[in-house]
Amino acid sequence: MTDLWTSDEIAQATGGQLSAPFVCSGVAFDSREIGRGDLFFAMKGEQADGHRFVENAFASGAAGAVVSKPVAHPHILVPDSFRALEQLGIASRQRVDAKIIGVTGSAGKTGTKEALFATLERFAPGKAHRSVKSYNNHVGVPLSLSRMPRATRFGVFEMGMNHPGELRTLTGFVRPHVAIVTTIAPAHIEFFKDEAAIADAKGEIFEGLEPGGTAIIPADSPHFERLHAKAMQHTDTVLSFGFSATADVRCEDFIESANGGSIVTARLKTGMLQYELSQPGRHWIANSLAVLAAVEVVGGDLAVAGLALADLAGLKGRGARHMLKLAEGSALLIDESYNANPASMAATLASLGQTSADRRIAVLGAMKELGEQSATFHAGLRMPLEAATIDYAMLVGEEMFPLAETLAADVAWAGKFAHCASVGDAIERLSGMIRAGDAILVKGSNSVGLSRLVEAMLGGGY
């Protein structure tokens, strides 16, 4: 284990009172994630008080704890454990001499963050750090910062939001040298007037840019000018990426590769680069261009980055691909069960449409937080379904009723779709339906619970 923080450093960063010295090698606020030598933050939440789990944390090997009331273990006493986590994250950012990249966007944040980490870790093994999972909110970002080793050369942090002002706070913690906006789409539009308001909120990431920093924005977005104007308020260096002929980092050409991904020819600021991208779809090509733009800015190696993009594996719930073993052969399962909005639905359906298969089956769960426009957005999925020549669609959740209704009105869809009220119903209907040669996409908002269906399919019986 490598020492991450001494108790004296933690006490100094948080202004807390130390009970006994200790050294920690990790940081967590969930006692179930505590490993030997970790620091446990006991925080009071809406549902539970972390102080109830202090004993569990130390039983799992915690070295110390940050608490707002004394405990019978080495600890640092602070007035507010959540504020102390923020302070430790800020101290972590201050102590590193690293190039920091911040990533936000309506879709593609986690994949882009993981791709960036893969490229930089391959270039500087053991010296790259990133936020794990989707730790991108007011708790996850300070936690990810606090876990950053002092010898880090490259840090990559995902930042999310569903209300105005949230990114302004997070980017103030991260203080990126490079700030990326992947795309603007009607995710969380329930909380915004329109997409332009979402673009404004995403543009808050530029407010935290370090002096001389670089903003990287999507050239193909209808909100490009809005993002560009916002970025120019905080930096003189703005790079665009995408398929547009005006993009600074652009895709000149691409073809599908043998493994289902793409072979891309890209023009960067310093010249041309051809690379293989393991992940399929135009949206992933766009994401990879943003990654290469950032790698170039922070002084990484573009050739090494190309190798990393070729080896990039799909993430659980975000594009992971599995081969289902069936009696007569195998079927492809594409797990996109973690998140969904209209833009990402269209992108992944288009990718499914380009996948070689005997039958293409789309299991689509409801898209959440779309507000008054929910029915319109769900019904609007008919166009990408048809463009992708989907053979069968299974729709899950009450919000999918408008789409089911519009499909039912067309005789061409007769017998080619089903509407399920629950995930359990979908699991039952799919059982015995899958055949060798099928490609099955499972996508929906995380709260729908389609991960249960994925687990059921991976468990066999299909």
| Domain harbouring 49, CATH code | 3.40.1390.10
**Phi, psi at 314, each rounded to 5°:** -70, 150
In a domain, 52, yes or no: yes
Residue 134 confidence class, pLDDT cut points 50, 70, 90: confident
What pLDDT, on the 0 to 100 scale, is given for residue 414? 94
> DSSP assignment of 342-383, as one string?
HHHHHHHHHHHHTS--SEEEEEEEPPPS-GGGHHHHHHTTHH
What pLDDT, on the 0 to 100 scale, is given for residue 389? 95
Contacts by residues 270-275 (CB-CB < 8 Å, ≥ 24 positions apart): 270/296, 270/302, 273/302, 273/303, 273/306, 274/306, 275/305, 275/306, 275/307, 275/309, 275/310
Residue pLDDT, tens place only, 155-202: 999 999 888 899 999 999 999 999 999 999 876 667 778 889 999 999
Same domain, 329 and 393: yes
pLDDT at position 1 over 60: no
Which of 54, 80, 106 represents a domain boundary (last residue)? Answer: 80
Average pLDDT estimate for 203-211 = 98
The region of weakest confidence among 35-39, 107-111, 132-136, 456-460 is: 132-136
pLDDT at position 461 over 70: no
Which residues sit opposite 331 in a β-bridge? Answer: 324
Under a CB-based contact definition with an 8 Å cutoff, are residues 245 and 209 in contact? no
Same domain, 276 and 385: no
Total Cβ atoms within 10 A of residue 455: 12
In a domain, 241, yes or no: yes
Same domain, 46 and 129: no
Query: For residue 342, what are its two tokens?
Result: 């209209």
Whole-model pTM: value is 0.82
**What's the domain range around 25?**
5-80
Under a CB-based contact definition with an 8 Å cutoff, are residues 278 and 259 in contact? yes
Same domain, 138 and 198: yes
In a domain, 159, yes or no: yes
Same domain, 299 and 153: yes
Under a CB-based contact definition with an 8 Å cutoff, are residues 354 and 256 in contact? yes
In a domain, 86, yes or no: no
pLDDT at position 406 over 70: yes
**Number of structural domains found in the chain:** 3
What pLDDT, on the 0 to 100 scale, is given for residue 313? 84
Same domain, 21 and 100: no
Cα(197)–Cα(163) distance, rounded to whole angstroms? 10
Same domain, 157 and 183: yes
In a domain, 110, yes or no: yes
Q: Is 67 helix (H, G, I), strand (E, B) or coil?
A: strand
Give the DSSP H or E segment for 89: helix 81-95
Q: Which residues lie below 8 Å from residue 4, measured CB to CB, with a gap of 6+?
A: 24, 25, 26, 27, 39, 147, 149, 150
What pLDDT, on the 0 to 100 scale, is given for residue 189? 67
What pLDDT, on the 0 to 100 scale, is given for residue 462? 61
Same domain, 286 and 143: yes
pLDDT at position 241 over 60: yes
Q: What is the pLDDT of the chain when averaged over all its residues?
A: 93
Which of 311, 341, 370 represents a domain boundary (last residue)? Answer: 311
Which of 287, 311, 335 represents a domain boundary (last residue)? Answer: 311
Residue pLDDT, tens place only, 320-363: 889 999 888 899 999 999 888 898 899 899 989 989 899 999 99
In a domain, 305, yes or no: yes
Residue 257 confidence class, pLDDT cut points 50, 70, 90: confident
Total Cβ atoms within 10 A of residue 428: 12
Same domain, 349 and 296: no
> DSSP assignment of 41-52, as one string?
E--B-SS-BGGG
Same domain, 283 and 350: no
In a domain, 89, yes or no: no
Same domain, 345 and 432: yes
What pLDDT, on the 0 to 100 scale, is given for residue 100? 98
Give the DSSP H or E segment for 438: strand 438-443
In a domain, 85, yes or no: no
Average pLDDT estimate for 120-133 = 94
Average pLDDT estimate for 96-105 = 97
Cα(421)–Cα(418) distance, rounded to whole angstroms? 10
Same domain, 349 and 224: no
